[in-house]
Structure 1
Amino acid sequence: MLPDLFQTRQAIRSGALGARTEMERCLSIATSEACHHAFIGPLFESAPTNAERVPADAALAGLAVSIKDLFDIAGQPTPAGSVVLSHSPPAPADAPAVARLVAAGGVPIGRTNMSEFAFSGVGVNPHHGTPANAADGSTKRVPGGSSSGAAVSVATGAAFIGLGSDTGGSIRIPAALNGIVGFKSTARWVPTQGALPLSTTLDTVCAMTRSVRDAILAHEILAARRVSAGPNHLRDCRFAVARELFQDGMDPAVARAFESALSKLSVAGARIEEISLPALADLPAINSTGGFSAAESYAWHRLLLERSAAGYDPRVAQRILRGAPMRAFEYIDLIHARAQWIDRMTAALEGFDAVLSPTVPVTAPPIADVAPGAERDDAFFALNALLLRNPSVINMLDGCAISLPCHSAGDLPVGLMIWHAGLRDDHILGIALLAESQLRE
C-alpha cells in the first residue's frame, strides 16, 4: 500500500525525508510508463525547486498534487481535454481550488488528462490518448472518468491529491476503478469559478486521495472549513441499503466485494437495513428531455460547436447536442422536479446515518473494448451509462458521497459508496474513517 499524505508529511516534518527528494520520486513515477497519457500539461521542471521552498509545517508540506485539465492555472490555456480550446487565451489567475491547494503548500506537477469537456464516465480521450488503469499491469483497462488522469496520478503514487470535478460521478468512478478514495462534497462547499463547466447545476469541485484522512484534509483545504468530528464507533451507525437500482447488474466480483463489505461493517456493530427508495424510479422521467448536463453544456458549447464541431470527440458532441431541443419550460420544469425529488429522497433517508451502495456495478473493462471508433460506440455508451448510473443519483440529490476500496487483495478494484443528502459531509467523512479500518482488515 502506498504511503498517504499524512505519513509522508510526518516524515518531512521529522527530517527523515526531504520535500525535494519526495518530489523527485513522484516525478519519476509521473514520467514512467505507469502514467503514460495521464499528464497532458506537465509542470515537472519547476516542481522540485517549488517543493523545496514550502515550509515543512505547511498543511501539504510541498507534496505533489495534480490538477485536472479543466481548472485555470495562471498563464496557461484551459483546454479541458480538448483540442478546440488548446490555443485559447491563458487564464489570468489560478482557479480558487488550485490557489487554495498551492496556498496550503501543495505543488502542482501538471494538468491531468480527462474525458473531453468532462462528458463521460469512461475516461477515453481520442486526442491525448487514454491513461491505463493503475490496478492492472497486464491488461490496459479503462481508468474511469472524467477525472481519468487525476485518478491514475494518485493511484500510481505520482500525486497525493488529484484535483478533479464530479458532475455525475467523475471523481468516484475513477476512484472506484483504480482502488483509491474519492470524496464528492456537497456542491456548494467549494467554488467552481475557474473551472470550465459541464453542468452549472451539478458540477462539484473535489478530489481523490489515498486515504480517508487525506480526503478530509483535501476537503478542508478546498472548502476552507474545518470538518467536525463524526461518530465514535460503527455500532452508533444505522445504514440503509437500497433495494432498487444500485445493485442491478452487478458483476460477480462487485457483488462479492459489496457483500463482504456489508458483512465486515455489520460484524463491527453497524446496523444495516435494506430499504425501498421508490423515488429512484422517477429519475428517467425527470431527465427524459436530456437532463441538466445536456442543457447546460449545450448553452456553453453551442457557438463553439458551430465553429469547430469537427474538432470535438464525436461521442461528446453527440451528448452535448442532446441539449439543443430542450425548451425553456422543460428546463424550468426540470428544476422544479429535481427540488421535489430531493425532498422525497431526503424524507425517505431520515433516521439513517448513510446509505451503502456499490460505487459502480462493474470492474474496469479493457480500453480496447471502448476505444475511439464508431464500431465500438454502442459498447462505449452502454458502459458509460452503467458507470454513471449509481453515482449520478447523489449529484441529482445535491448530496455528498465517498468511494472507498472494498475489494480483496489481488482482485480488480471495487468501490463502496457511502452517501447521504446534502450538508452531511462531516458525518459521511467520519463514517468513512471508521469503515476504512474495517474494510482493510
Structure 2
Amino acid sequence: MSTAVRDALEAALVRIDDPTSDGRVTYTKVYTERARAEADAADARAKVGVSLSPLDGWVISVKDLFDVAGETTTAGSSILRNRPPATVDAPVIARLRGAGAVIVGKTNMSEFAFSGIGINPHFGTPGNAADKSRVPGGSSSGAGVSVAEGTARMGLGTDTGGSIRIPAALNGCVGFKPTANRISKTGAFPLSYALDSIGPLAKTVADCAATDAVLAGEEPWTLDPAPIAGLRFGIPRGRLFGQMEPEVEKAFEASVAKLGKAGARITEVSIEDLLQDLADAMAKAPFVAIEAAAVHAEWLEDRARDFDPRVLARIRIGAKALASDYIRLVNKRAELILRMRDRLADIDAMILPTTPIRAPKIFDLIASDDQFWAANGLVLRNTTVGNIFDFCGASLPCQPAKGLPIGFMMTALAGQDRRLLRMAAGVEALFQG
C-alpha cells in the first residue's frame, strides 16, 4: 500500500520538531496522532481509487483563530487561554476534513489578528522562511511560514487588512483573499465583522483555487489560466507607490514589463480622490479598530495588562469612536465601494506591489515602537484598500532568483474570484517562464 500521505506528514513533523528550526513557534499546536490517522485513511482511500476531493491527502495547517472541537481557540492571545473549548469545528474546518485534508496543526498569529507584522509576545514570533531574523508578516504569520518552509501544502488564514497577502508576499508564496462574504466566517474569532475574509496560502495559484472551492462549498473546477494578451490591468500610481524600497520597485516594474511584452493592456488608473475620501472618513478611527473595540469590549479594561500593548493601543482608538461615527463610516464605505466599481469598470484587475517594503528585522521592530508603527503602516497600506473596497485579491511572488521575497498583487471587484484566480494563474505562468 502506498504511504505517500503518511510519508509527507512524517517529513512535516520532523521539520516542525527540528530544534534548529522554530517549528514549535510557527505552530502553537501539533495534532500528531490525529494527523497520522487522517494520513493513513487518505492512503487507504488512494489504494482503492477513492478521492474525497482534490485536497484529499494534503497536509495542511490552520490559523489559531479557527474553532477545532474539544479545544480552546486562543486567537494568539493569553486572554482567551481559559475560555471553554469549542464544541464543534468551524464550518471551514469541517469542510477541509470532509475533503480529506490532513490537519497537521494550528499556526501562530498576531494577537487577535491585529497587525501586519506577525510579532507575538505571548507565543513567540516565527522567523521569516527566507531569513529567520526577519518578521514573517501578519497576521497569518505561521500560515505563511508553514507553506514557504514546506510543513504544509496549504495554510488556512484570514485577511482583514492584508493578513493573508502580506505573509504570502514576505515569505514568497501565493496568498488568495476571496470576496469577504464568499466563505462562512462562523467559528473564526473575529477582528472586524465587515472586513474579515477567509482564504488559503499555498505554493501555487492552482492550490489556492482548489482550496477556495472547498471552503466555499462549490464543486471542483478546472483552473484554466487566462491568456495574458488582451487583459486590462490598471496601475493606481500615487500614494500606494510611495516609500517603496528600490528592490520592490525594480521587481514590480520588471513584472509590469513582462506583462506588457506578453500583450497585456496596461494603463494607469487614478483612485487618489477615493483614497483621500476614505482617509478623511477614517480620521477619527479606522473601521477595523471600531469593530475590534466591539469584539473586545468585555475584557478591554479588565484585562488590559494581558494584551500586547500595541494591539491594545489600536483597539482603544476604536473604543473612543461614537456610534454616530461608526454609522457615518459604514454609509461612507458603501458609497465609496459603488464609486470604485464605476472607476474600475474598464479594467480586469488593478496591479501593484503587495507591500512596498520587504520583511524588516524582528529585533528592530520589537525594540522600537516608532519602527514598528512605521513598518506596520507600510505593509498594510496597499492590501487594506482591498478589504475596505470589498475586492478579492491575490499576491504572487515576483522577486528575482536571489534576495528577500517580494509580492505582486492583483485585485479585482467583489464576486470576480474565479476570474481573478484564472488571471493570477496566467500571470504566475508568465513569471515562472
Is TM-score (shorter-chain normalized) higher than 0.5? Answer: yes
Q: Which residue of 2 aligns with 1:120?
A: 115
C-alpha distance in 1, partners of 2:123/2:320?
Answer: 31
Q: Which residue of 2 aligns with 1:233?
A: 227
C-alpha distance in 2, partners of 1:229/1:348?
Answer: 28
Q: Is the 2:63–2:142 Cα contact (8 Å) retained in structure 1?
A: yes
Q: Is 2:304 the counterpart of 1:313?
A: no
Report which stretch shifted further, 429-438 or 61-70. 61-70
Q: Is 2:239 the counterpart of 1:253?
A: no
Secondary structure of the corresponding residue to residue 175 of structure 2: strand
Q: Is the 1:35–1:156 Cα contact (8 Å) retained in structure 2?
A: no
Letter in 2 for 1:264: K
Secondary structure of the corresponding residue to residue 427 of structure 2: helix
Match of 1:198 among 191, 200, 215: 191
Q: Is 2:163 the counterpart of 1:170?
A: yes
CA shift for structure 1 position 231: 6.6
C-alpha distance in 2, partners of 1:232/1:259?
Answer: 21
How big is each residue's C-alpha offset from its partner over 1:344-395, in whole Å with a ceiling of 9 and x where there is no partner? 1111111111111000000001111112x5xx11111111011100000000
Report which stretch shifted further, 50-59 or 267-276. 50-59
C-alpha distance in 1, partners of 2:16/2:258?
Answer: 35
Q: Which residue of 1 aligns with 2:36?
A: 48
Q: Which residue of 2 aligns with 1:244?
A: 238
Match of 1:336 among 292, 308, 331: 331
Q: Is the 1:19–1:51 Cα contact (8 Å) retained in structure 2?
A: yes
Superposition pairs of residues 33-72 of structure 1, within 5 angstroms: 33-54=21-42, 55-56=45-46, 57-59=51-53, 60-72=55-67
C-alpha distance in 2, partners of 1:112/1:229?
Answer: 28
Letter in 1 for 2:88: A
Q: Which residue of 1 aligns with 2:263?
A: 269
CA shift for structure 1 position 399: 0.8
C-alpha distance in 2, partners of 1:352/1:26?
Answer: 42
C-alpha distance in 1, partners of 2:312/2:202?
Answer: 31
Q: Is 2:388 the counterpart of 1:402?
A: no
C-alpha distance in 1, partners of 2:365/2:105?
Answer: 26
Report which stretch shifted further, 277-286 or 204-213. 277-286
Q: Is 2:93 the counterpart of 1:98?
A: yes
Q: Is 2:12 the counterpart of 1:29?
A: no
Q: Which residue of 2 aligns with 1:422?
A: 414
Match of 1:212 among 205, 210, 230: 205
Structure 1 unpaired stretches of 5+: 1-14
How big is each residue's C-alpha offset from its partner over 1:68-112, in whole Å with a ceiling of 9 and x where there is no partner? 111100000001001111111000000011111111011111111
TM-score (norm 1): 0.93
Letter in 1 for 2:262: A
C-alpha distance in 2, partners of 1:261/1:58?
Answer: 38
CA RMSD between the two structures:
1.4
CA shift for structure 1 position 232: 3.9
Letter in 2 for 1:403: S
C-alpha distance in 2, partners of 1:415/1:232?
Answer: 20
Q: Is the 1:67–1:111 Cα contact (8 Å) retained in structure 2?
A: yes
CA shift for structure 1 position 17: 5.6
Identity %: 45
C-alpha distance in 1, partners of 2:225/2:157?
Answer: 28
C-alpha distance in 1, partners of 2:318/2:212?
Answer: 32
CA shift for structure 1 position 229: 6.1
Q: Is the 1:291–1:334 Cα contact (8 Å) retained in structure 2?
A: no
Deviating 4+ runs (over 3 angstroms): 226-232
Match of 2:378 among 358, 376, 386: 386
C-alpha distance in 2, partners of 1:260/1:440?
Answer: 13
Q: Is the 2:225–2:425 Cα contact (8 Å) retained in structure 1?
A: no
C-alpha distance in 1, partners of 2:330/2:224?
Answer: 32
How big is each residue's C-alpha offset from its partner over 1:319-357, in whole Å with a ceiling of 9 and x where there is no partner? 111111111111110011001111111111111111110
CA shift for structure 1 position 309: 1.2
Q: Give the number of aligned pairs.
A: 422
Structure 2 unpaired stretches of 5+: none
